[in-house]
RNA sequence: GCUCCCAUCGUCUAGAGGCCCAGGACACAGCCCUCUCAAGGCUGGUACGAGGGUUCGAAUCCCUCUGGGAGCGCCA
């Protein structure tokens, strides 16, 4: 039997990190077993589901590369099928009409809570034959009254529930719409889902779903309930703490495979390995090494993993996302230097593509001002002869490339009897505007000869102006 | 309140009775490398929630407690 997994988000909010992790594990499991990954949109909540939310889910999955093999299926498109099952269950006595009003139900709940009992429907309409005038009924599933249900969970082991704890849940509302737990069961059955991988907030729903599956005449699929993901502070994910749309991570400059790598390690492990390519994850993922305990997001580690991927991904691939980030900063990529050399020069000093872009501005535009501290330290009167000297040497270079530039700088340093840093730092500030950049030869190679010579000249002029100003004041 | 789940360094985790006076990773500190910043290398500190068992032996098995979390909707 081929593996069939599904990711079933409800389009009522955004697709955040928790949902993505669930989707990832479903996708990974399907890939690992050469199975089918299905996307199903659970939009039976007509009030809160929106097309925009559906689009956000689709866009997010697309950016991440978690493409479904089947679907998306929409529950709202399957209403006739749900009605059919409900009719059948009504005929077979597996479901019944309940004429209790919302007020009655509320009173019941209040009384039970007051008696320190678990609030649940008491089954008072179970044997009712006659309709009740003026009340549009709901349909309830007739849950077995006794015995127990065992959820054979791949991450938690066997979890046993008493049927006595379960009440008869509503499967069709009085407005005729089916409800979530019921739709899930019918869909998982119709779609022949073999492995239900989802958040463990659904563990408590599972025994009811198993009972309904059995009413349908099938044995349940394999279940795997994943632990929750918590915010950096160890509390539930909220808007304040990490519950942001996945696309936000793109804006922050993360490579999708880096995000996915991080998420895979949140709750799953393969010995001591931390860095995984997509292919490795697909090959190694299993349910046996999924953790049972909830885990907190650690932004520092995400950033580190991001950098690892930046350093090891093909430069051409990084360059594509890098271009997008530069564009966001208003850089004119088309008329600037080639991107791949910049990626190569910058990737070990940037944790995200966004950082890389912010640190690469001077490759596209001459600095408008010098970093104050760096200028005070390096753009000094002592630096002027050095800058003039290197200007001359660089202007005379036959070939403009890093080794040649490096040789020129070394030669100047040697002939003037100073260390390499004495030449490199003023040069770095002159060209980049600050005290930090890739190795100076690489930096100059990318900036280009014209740009470099111009910026050196401007720095010398600036030093002169500073001197004149302080002399005059 | 009831039912269910969970519990190893600050964080992510390895660990399926002896290999563990607990290993890796992030973060942190120091050193090395070095034209800056990084990257990289080396070194260091910090953890089995508590109490009872079982066993020759327990982070690993059992019980209780404590602490977290989830569910208990005509929400999904």
Q: Which nucleotide is nearest to A43 (CA to C1')?
A: B76
The confidence score (pLDDT) of residue A60 equals 94
Please state, in angstroms and rounded to a whole number, the distance separating the CA atoms of residues A40 and A191: 10
The string of pLDDT tens digits covering residues A185-202 is 999 999 999 999 999 999
- CA to C1' distance (Å), from A323 to B8: 43
Q: Which residue is nearest to nucleotide B34 (CA to C1')?
A: A421
The string of pLDDT tens digits covering residues A221-277 is 999 999 999 999 888 876 656 668 899 999 999 999 999 999 999 999 999 999 999
Residue A60 phi, psi (nearest 5): -65, -45
The confidence score (pLDDT) of residue A336 equals 85
* Structure token pair of residue A218: 């099938």
Residue A392 phi, psi (nearest 5): -60, -45
- CA to C1' distance (Å), from A262 to B12: 9
Q: Which nucleotide is nearest to A402 (CA to C1')?
A: B35
SS3 A189: helix
In what helix (H) or strand (E) does residue A89 lie, and over which residues does it extend? helix A79-92
- CA to C1' distance (Å), from A19 to B54: 42
Residues of chain A with pLDDT under 70: 238-243, 472-473
Contacts of residue A237, Cβ cutoff 8 Å, sequence gap at least 6: A16, A17, A18, A228, A229, A230, A231, A243, A297
Q: Which residue is nearest to nucleotide B36 (CA to C1')?
A: A436
Please state, in angstroms and rounded to a whole number, the distance separating the CA atoms of residues A166 and A45: 23
Please state the ipTM of this predicted complex.
0.94
Residues of A taking part in catalysis = 239
The confidence score (pLDDT) of residue A240 equals 59
Please state, in angstroms and rounded to a whole number, the distance separating the CA atoms of residues A331 and A206: 52
The confidence score (pLDDT) of residue A243 equals 64
Q: Which nucleotide is nearest to A165 (CA to C1')?
A: B3
Q: Strand B: which nucleotides have any atom within 7 A of a protein Cβ?
A: 1-8, 10-15, 23-27, 34-40, 69-76
Q: Which residue is nearest to nucleotide B75 (CA to C1')?
A: A45
* Structure token pair of residue A337: 């230097």
Please state, in angstroms and rounded to a whole number, the distance separating the CA atoms of residues A4 and A123: 36
The confidence score (pLDDT) of residue A433 equals 93
Q: How far is CA A41 from CA A12, A145, A253, A443, A459, in A?
A: 10, 32, 28, 49, 60
The confidence score (pLDDT) of residue A472 equals 65
- CA to C1' distance (Å), from A270 to B46: 24
Residue A41 phi, psi (nearest 5): -95, 120
- CA to C1' distance (Å), from A274 to B54: 37
Do A383 and A426 form a contact (C-beta atoms < 8 A)? yes
The confidence score (pLDDT) of residue A403 equals 94
User: Residue A331 carries which DSSP code?
Assistant: -
**How many Å is the Cα radius of gyration of chain A?**
32
The confidence score (pLDDT) of residue A111 equals 86
Closest CA to A349 of A340, A359, A341: A359
H-type helices in A313-370, by residue range?
315-328, 339-346, 353-358
Asked if omega into A448 is within 30° of 0 (cis), the reply is: no
pTM score, whole prediction:
0.92
The confidence score (pLDDT) of residue A43 equals 87
Please state, in angstroms and rounded to a whole number, the distance separating the CA atoms of residues A467 and A449: 27
């Amino acid at each position: 039997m081929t593996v069939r997994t599904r990711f079933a988000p409800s389009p009522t909010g955004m697709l955040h990190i928790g949902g993505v992790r669930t989707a990832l594990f479903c996708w990974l499991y399907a890939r690992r077993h050469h199975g089918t990954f299905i996307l199903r949109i659970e939009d039976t909540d007509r009030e809160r589901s929106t097309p925009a939310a559906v689009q956000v889910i689709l866009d997010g999955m697309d950016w991440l590369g978690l493409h479904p093999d089947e679907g998306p299926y929409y529950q709202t498109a399957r209403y006739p099928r749900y009605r059919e099952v409900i009719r059948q269950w009504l005929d077979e006595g597996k479901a019944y009409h309940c004429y209790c009003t919302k007020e009655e139900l509320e009173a019941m709940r209040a009384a039970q809570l007051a008696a320190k009992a678990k609030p649940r429907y008491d089954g008072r309409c179970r044997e009712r034959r006659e309709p009740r005038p003026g009340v549009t009924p709901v349909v309830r599933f007739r849950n077995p009254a006794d015995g127990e249900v065992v959820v054979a969970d791949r991450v938690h082991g066997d979890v046993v529930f008493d049927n006595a704890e379960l009440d008869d849940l509503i499967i069709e509302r009085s407005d005729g719409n089916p409800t979530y737990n019921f739709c899930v069961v019918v869909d998982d059955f119709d779609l022949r889902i073999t492995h239900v991988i989802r958040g463990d907030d659904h563990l408590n729903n599972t025994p009811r779903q198993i009972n309904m599956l059995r009413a349908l005449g099938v044995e349940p699929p394999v279940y795997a309930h994943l632990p929750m993901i918590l915010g950096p502070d160890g509390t539930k994910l909220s808007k304040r703490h990490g519950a942001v749309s996945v696309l936000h991570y793109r804006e922050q400059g993360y490579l999708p495979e880096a995000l996915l790598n991080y998420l895979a390690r949140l709750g799953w492990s393969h010995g001591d390995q931390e860095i995984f390519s997509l292919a490795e994850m697909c090959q190694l993922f299993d349910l046996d090494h999924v953790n049972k305990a909830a885990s907190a997001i650690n932004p520092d580690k995400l950033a580190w993993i991001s950098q690892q991927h930046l350093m090891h991904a093909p430069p051409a691939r990084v360059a594509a996302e890098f271009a997008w980030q530069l564009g966001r900063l208003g850089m004119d990529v088309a008329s600037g230097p080639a991107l791949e050399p910049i990626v190569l020069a910058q990737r070990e000093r940037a944790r995200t593509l966004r950082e890389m872009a912010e640190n690469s501005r001077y490759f596209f535009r001459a600095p408008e001002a010098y970093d104050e501290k760096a200028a005070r330290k390096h753009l000094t009167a002592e630096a002027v002869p050095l800058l003039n000297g290197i200007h001359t040497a660089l202007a005379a270079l036959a070939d403009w490339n890093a080794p040649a530039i490096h040789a020129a700088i070394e030669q100047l340093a040697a002939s003037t009897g100073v260390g390499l840093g004495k030449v490199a730092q003023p040069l770095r500030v002159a060209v980049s505007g600050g005290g930090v950049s890739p190795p100076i030869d690489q930096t100059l190679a990318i900036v280009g000869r014209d740009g470099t010579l111009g910026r050196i000249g401007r720095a010398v002029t600036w030093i002169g102006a500073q001197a004149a100003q302080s002399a005059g004041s």
